[in-house]
Amino acid sequence: MNKPKLIILPGWNGSKQTWSDFVLLAESDFEVEVVELPCFGAEPCPSSIWGVEEYAKFVSGKIKALKQDNQETILLGHSFGGQISTYLLAHEPNIVDKLILSGASVYRRPESIRNKIFKFIAKCGKIVFSLPVLNKLAGFMRKILYKSAGAGDYNKTEGIKRDIFLKITKQDMSKYLPQIKVPTLVVWGDKDAFVPVKDATLIAENIADSKLEIINGGTHGLHLWKKEELLNIIKNFIKN
Domains of the chain and CATH, by start: 5-108+171-239 (3.40.50.1820), 123-165 (no CATH)
pTM: 0.84
Say how far apart CA 64 and CA 82 lie, in whole Å. Answer: 18
| Whether the Cβ atoms of residue 176 and residue 77 lie closer than 8 Å to each other | no
CB < 8 Å & 24+ apart, contacts of 122-130? none
Tens-digit pLDDT profile for residues 126-169: 554 455 655 555 555 555 544 444 444 545 567 999 999 999 99
Tens-digit pLDDT profile for residues 172-209: 999 999 999 999 999 999 999 999 999 999 999 999 99
Tens-digit pLDDT profile for residues 73-117: 999 999 999 999 999 999 999 999 999 999 999 999 875 444 444
Say how far apart CA 232 and CA 75 lie, in whole Å. Answer: 16
